[in-house]
Structure 1
Amino acid sequence: MKFEIQGEYPVLRCMLDRGESIVASSGNMSWMTDRLELETSTRGGFLKGLGRSFSGESMFQNTYTAMSDNQEIAFASSLPGEILHVRMEGQSIIVQKNAYLASTDQVSFEVCFTKRFTAGLLGGEGFILQKFSGTGDLFLEADGSLIEYDLKSGESILVDQGHVFMFDESVSYSIETVKGLKKVVFGGEGLFLVRLTGPGMVRLQTMPISTLASKIIPYVPSKG
């Protein structure tokens, strides 16, 4: 399979030869040529499909298989941001919910819970994340731009949870409360922050949808 990521508001364009396949959540496809065969399934059974739905994705996934050479399928980003290509070579990565765009069929997709239930419950963005492993090509959608950190063993970074996009499975994840009522009320950073501790790679996104929505909502007319 050949692919290109194009445009300021990016789109992933994949070129498939006969017999090649790509997988995406239901509703992610933007356009395609007419010699691609579509199969819809839960991919892994009802429970795996149900788990994906908890992480913000569709319960069903679509597999598109080329019936002849030089067939194109495209997946456009839903918001201004980046489409990230990750070459999976047996590693595992943890990703924010709703980030999945598409993948080749040897990439495994499952639900990942934070180690402590209270971490996600109190963190404001939900305690369910997405975990990817296996081999092949994985495509993820980020809000805004991506900034990468390579954390050494024991090195930590504190992040507003909406800005956490992706991190290696080796990175530990916990929620910390901001100490002091004055800091919470007047600091503007909220009550909870994410502590990411190395070793491993961390990618942060600059414009989470929750932040964008909070800036737009005051300008949306209300019926009242």
Structure 2
Amino acid sequence: MYSAIGTRENIKIIDSAEYGGVKIDVMEYQHLLGSTNTSAAMDLYFMEKQNIRARQVAVYVSNDMVTVEPGAMSYFRGPLEMVSGVTAGNALGRLFSGAVTGEAVAQPEYRGSGMLVLEPSFNHFLLLQLDNEEIIVDKGMFYCAQGSVAVKPVMQRSISSALGGGEGLFQISLAGTGLVVLESPVPSCEIDVIELQNDTLKVDGNFAILRTASLQFTVERSAKSLIGSAVSGEGLVNVYRGTGSVWLAPTIKIYNTINFARSYGNPSTKSMNMNTSNSR
């Protein structure tokens, strides 16, 4: 097994897991020291104060395989073989699935033994280990998975769930046993994991980022009547029924509000957006 990257002083391993022939480290750069621009350096200073740090995933493979989000590879070392995952037998199905779902046709697979380092990101990473189970995550969250975990798009069970729930027509299913890395809009400390035991959870908004596949997901009125829903001000809610887990990230609403205010309330930003649109 190759030596860990996180032994460098400026890089800290914030999460790590190992299963079978795969070990995954989630690393965090404590400081970005290469800026030669004073304005950029000031931005970096305040970013660090707010925990906006560059993070990176390193995967150590020993006679195993990992599936990676297209475009996520930074570099790899050792006798690893990269294949597209598309064969003569599944090419047509992959093309159709990609056209319908908007997902990439090919998800690169790395087989053999070696070290694979993925692109750095300011997003947060969730490192999970599945144990003969299936979870459903939002599109765009999948980053990489051990080869024993099947990755595929799944359609919502009802049109109302797709149109009214804000989750889209397709999400991503991860099923099997092995390690999974997800890109998360919030850190793990801001995620509420709700365990349901033959129970019902109703959520106002689409900030449920992960759920157990066994749960039934629908979109319903918040009250029994249309008038009651209108008076309550809640309208439609996302409903999860059954036994399983739902991961909620309520602070997404706060970040969206801040981002919206900066985009439309800051005169300089608004002017920049207008100039950009006029130049097209």
**TM-score above 0.5:** yes
Query: Residue 182 and residue 168 in structure 1: after superposition, are their counterparts in 2 closer, same or farther (change >3 A)?
Result: same
Structure with max Cα Rg: 2
Unpaired runs of 5+ residues, structure 1, are: none
Residues 1:217 and 2:263 aligned together: yes
Name 2:68's counterpart in structure 1: 24
* Alpha-carbon separation, structure 1, partners of 2:24 and 2:77: 15
Q: CA RMSD in A?
A: 2.9
Query: Residue 101 and residue 48 in structure 1: after superposition, are their counterparts in 2 closer, same or farther (change >3 A)?
Result: same
Residues 1:127 and 2:169 aligned together: yes
Residues 1:152 and 2:211 aligned together: no
SS of the residue 2:162 aligns to:
helix
Higher-RCO chain (CA-CA 8 Å, sequence separation at least 6): 1
SS of the residue 2:163 aligns to:
helix
Percentage of matched positions with identical amino acids: 17
Equivalent in 26, 29, 46 of residue 92 of structure 2: 46
Name 1:6's counterpart in structure 2: 27
> What is the CA-CA distance between 1:85 and the residue it aligns to?
2.2
* Alpha-carbon separation, structure 2, partners of 1:214 and 1:25: 28
> What is the CA-CA distance between 1:36 and the residue it aligns to?
3.2
Query: Residue 79 and residue 172 in structure 1: after superposition, are their counterparts in 2 closer, same or farther (change >3 A)?
Result: farther
Name 2:8's counterpart in structure 1: none
> What is the CA-CA distance between 1:106 and the residue it aligns to?
1.8
Matching of residues 66-215 of structure 1 within 5 Å: 66=112, 71-76=114-119, 78-81=121-124, 83-145=125-187, 146-161=191-206, 163-178=207-222, 179-181=228-230, 184=233, 191-205=235-249, 206-207=251-252, 211=256, 214-215=260-261
> What is the CA-CA distance between 1:200 and the residue it aligns to?
0.8
Q: Residue deviations 1:95-134, cap 9 Å, x none?
A: 1111110112221122222221122112334121111212
* Alpha-carbon separation, structure 2, partners of 1:159 and 1:74: 38
> What is the CA-CA distance between 1:48 and the residue it aligns to?
3.8
> What is the CA-CA distance between 1:154 and the residue it aligns to?
1.9
What TM-score results when the alignment is normalised by the length of structure 1? 0.79
* Alpha-carbon separation, structure 2, partners of 1:140 and 1:11: 12
SS of the residue 2:73 aligns to:
coil
Name 1:58's counterpart in structure 2: 104
Q: How many residues are aligned here?
A: 213
* Alpha-carbon separation, structure 2, partners of 1:138 and 1:95: 11
Matched-pair contact (CA < 8 Å) for 1:79–1:143: no
Q: Residue deviations 1:22-45, cap 9 Å, x none?
A: 111211223333643321233744
> What is the CA-CA distance between 1:180 and the residue it aligns to?
4.4
Query: Residue 181 and residue 152 in structure 1: after superposition, are their counterparts in 2 closer, same or farther (change >3 A)?
Result: same
* Alpha-carbon separation, structure 2, partners of 1:176 and 1:168: 19
What TM-score results when the alignment is normalised by the length of structure 2? 0.65
